[in-house]
Structure 1
Amino acid sequence: MQKLFYKDPYLQTFTTTLVRQSQDKSGKWYAILEQTAFYPEGGGQPYDSGSLNDQTVIEVQEINGEIRHYLKDKLPETSKEVKGIIDWERRYDHMQQHAGQHLLSAAFEELFYYKTKSFHLGKEVCTIDLDTTELTDEEILEAETLVNRIILENRKIETKWVTQEELSDYPLRKELSVSEDIRLVIIPDFDYNGCGGTHPHSTGGVASLKTLSLEKQKNMIRVSFVAGNRVLKQLHEKQQVVSELSSLLNAPQNGMAEAVKRILGQSKEQAKELKDMKEKLLEYEATALSSQTEVVAGRTIIKSVLQNKEMAELQSMARKLVSAKDDINVFLFAENGGKLQFVGARGSNSNLDMRYVANKVFTFINGKGGGRENFVQGGGETALTGEEVLEKITHLLLND
């Protein structure tokens, strides 16, 4: 099969002969052509998409030496001559990203001797994994600057088929994974690399490159970047975000950081004030509850059903109550939507085992929880109201 994408990576339409159609093990139809401009997935570059005689090509793979064009629908049996159309926007994007990766990897190696261990061409961003555990912002900027200088110089990107014996004539950046059908992609005096992908004819076709972020990956550093038209897309998206935030913060772009710091500072102060107010409110509520004691089977108890209280608030109130009265037994419930939360606590002079009470409560409300003999907590469903469960606790104490 002739691989037209190697003869002319800019070829967008072609006409060829259909060799055959078949189905793979999963039942998907694919076409084998006499020649093709569709690039199959490989070497970190995704496959091309497009159409064959107006039938959508959804995937292209090279399997057992043949290029399979997977189709959305089978071509008519009468099809002999086939017209292929490449999704050019997708193809050229892949060409820009792949060439951008060559440039960026070469820059990191030339400047800092950091080798690229892997490359991923994603739908939105691309990544390379560098063989280093540390990478500074200054190094990233220096590599990015070198790449964009090479792009502006519009150097040729050459491809050459060579033999194993001829490899010694080229300073390759990494060892090759093949020993036959060796194809080199060369940016003279900068990068010499074995590669089966498609690239622009010159570095100017990459247009520009921008690194986005880095993260540690085991013993490597992963650098995210975009090239070509994706740089403009990223700039447009980020500019929209900056404009919206600038309007919301009522601050110019260069003053946004200070505006956010100011808002975060105010937020922390307000959060502290809110916490202090909640604590005071809990104290008032605990004081009010402390006067609402009753005696059940010789035990002094305080019981209450509260609305929309967090578990931490119930726990805090219970601790305040038992620390104020050492003979008290406290049963607090909070009704929060469709959930019922429970806290039980006893003072130091009470011998009531709260775990025994909690086990019964959790049975009533189909819930779960835990704790110690003097303090328990948990939650469950509101099959019963808090008041109904309190009645059951009173009945339990009377019959204990």
Structure 2
Amino acid sequence: MTKKLFYDNIYQKEFTANIASVKEIDGKFHIELNQTAFYPEGGGQPCDKGTIEGLEVSYVYEKNNKIYHIIDREPPKLHLLKCAINWERRFDHMQQHLGQHILSACFHKLFDAKTVGFHLGNEFVTIDITLNNISPVQIEKVEYFANQVVFNNLHVKQLYPTASKLSELPLRKPPKVKENIRIIEIDQFDFSPCCGTHSSHTGEVGVIKIRKWEKIRGNIRIEFVCGNRALKDFYWKNDTINKISKLLSVKDIDALSGVERIFSQYNSQKKEIRKLKEQLLDYEASTFYQSAYIVNNIKIINNIFDNRNFEDIRNLAAKIVSKPDVIVLFGLKNEKAQMILSCSKEIDINMTKVFKEVCPIINGRGGGNAHTAQGGGDQTSKLEEALKTAQDIIIHQYLV
């Protein structure tokens, strides 16, 4: 059994240890030490990282009460190895994990909501709580309560109670194990079974900030950050607000109303642009229709556009063929060659069949129905040839 130094002194950063065993698995060395300050992954918390005799520890796990440290090379000696944990990573996990205990306790005390899921990620922490819905006012209330617990700098203790003593504790949730039960107590405020690492005082959490929340499978998922993560979150948000307020020439507290005003103007302008665009397409459709090439009373429009939006060309074709006795053969040159072949509904021509005959000319693919077919290929230089071929097929096989 590996001696767990991280329970004796959560702030121990360096230690010496002897190798108890070495296993080589897939080119990696799994080192068991007689004692370790490296916390193994478990209880929703990622493992510690660091070095053993200068060799990088990439992962730490526990199996059968033995803790293994994965490194790339076998250590140069077996005894008195110098080991060091990555303190920045450890302290971050301590802040986030204790912050989770505090936040979960606040949800439980204020709204009788249980925490049924916990994930400590690289950027954010999430908990799933048993509420169907939650309001911004409730979120603010929980967040304020949680931070008062932080600011009061309550003492955090680890307890190993007997069975009789355990039954007397007001546990927020039942333990998942039946022996060696470890309880994290936040100075009479919260009692929760847990195997993770936590700061010894709530003040070290710094601050708890709820970032967002959403409904997940009947529960509410809360995303939050604590301590240094909350500070980094504040940095970029404050910087963003300052930049927005500078762009809008307003005070930072007026940034939201400034953005809302611009967004409202944008929506109005977008509607006006859509209306003008529709009018332009109507005018363009009428112009093409009036100047069409006529064969046996059928109007044929053959045209290639450059650098237009294909959706606009498709809408233009639809407007034209909504008129009687007209065939549209449109091409578009952008990064590739695109075609749309369409006809009025009373014309008995299978445009998809015509399209498939000429599509290989532009090395293209596509499809459609009897009245409209579309697609594209990479041979832009042959787009004019493809449309000319389509026109010849239509004239000679269907109209003459």
Does residue 1:358 correspond to 2:334, yes or no? no
Change (3 A) 1:337 1:103: same
Residue in 1 that maps onto 2:18: 17
SS of equivalent to 1:75: coil
Partner of 1:346: 344
The whole-number CA distance in structure 1 between the counterparts of 2:372 and 2:236 is 54
Matches within 5 A, 1:204-243: 204-243=203-242
CA distance in 2, matches of 1:330, 1:151: 71
* Superposed displacement of residue 106, structure 1: 0.8
Shift of 1:347: 5.8
Give distance in 1, aligned partners of 2:248 and 2:72.
49
Which whole-Å CA distance do the structure 1 matches of 2:294 and 2:235 have between them?
A: 71
Question: Residues 276-355 of structure 1 correspond to what in structure 2 (within 5 A)?
Answer: 276-296=275-295, 299-324=298-323, 326-346=324-344, 348=346, 350-355=347-352
Q: Answer whether contact 1:2 1:34 (CA < 8 A) is retained.
A: yes
DSSP 3-state at the match of 2:67: strand
User: Which of 383, 386, 398 lines up with 1:386 in the alignment?
Assistant: 383
Partner residue of 2:46?
A: 46
Structure 1 contact 50–85 (Cα < 8 Å) conserved? yes
Instruction: Decide whether aligned partners of structure 1 residues 375 and 287 sit closer, same or farther in structure 2, where only a CA change above 3 A counts.
Output: same
User: Which one-letter code corresponds to 1:31 in the other structure?
Assistant: I
Change in CA separation of 1:55 and 1:316 when aligned onto 2, cut-off 3 Å: closer
Residue aligning to 2:185: 186
- Please give the alpha-carbon distance, in whole angstroms, between the structure 2 residues aligned to 1:16 and 1:306: 75
Identify the range of structure 1 (363-372 vs 38-47) with the bigger mean alpha-carbon deviation: 363-372
- Residue aligned with 2:160, SS: strand
Deviation at 1:384, TM superposition (A): 5.2
Partners in 2 of 1:227 and 1:156 — Cα distance? 18
Contact 1:364 1:384 in 2 (8 A): no
For 1:347 and 1:116, locate their aligned partners in 2 and report how far apart those are by CA, in whole Å: 62
Q: Identity percentage over the alignment?
A: 36
Task: Give deviations 1:171-203, integer Å, cap 9, x for gaps.
Answer: 111111101111111113211111111111122
- How far off its partner does 1:133 sit? 1.3
- TM-score normalised according to structure 2 size: 0.92
Counterpart secondary structure, 2:224: strand
RMSD: 2.1
**Which residue, out of 381, 393, 396, partners 1:396?**
393
Secondary structure (helix, strand or coil) at the match of 1:182 reads coil
> Counterpart in 1 of 2:272?
273
Alpha-carbon separation, structure 2, partners of 1:328 and 1:150: 76
**Structure 2 match to 1:156:** 155
Structure 2 residue identity aligned to 1:275 = R
Measured in 2, the distance between the counterparts of 1:271 and 1:105 equals 45
- The letter for the 2-side match of 1:162 is P
CA displacement 1:239-298 (0-9 Å, x = unmatched): 111112122222211111121122112222332333233333323333332243334577
Shift of 1:300: 3.7
Residue 17 of structure 1, CA deviation: 1.5
Q: Where does residue 62 of structure 2 map in the other structure?
A: 62
The runs of 5 or more residues in structure 1 that have no matched partner are: none
One-letter amino acid matched to 1:380: G
Gaps of 5+ in 2: none
2:30 matched to 1:30? yes
How many residues align structurally?
A: 396
Partner of 1:263: 262
Q: Which moved more, 1:159-168 or 1:357-366?
A: 357-366
Distance in 1, matches of 2:270 and 2:111, equals 47
Q: State the one-letter code of the partner of 1:339.
A: A
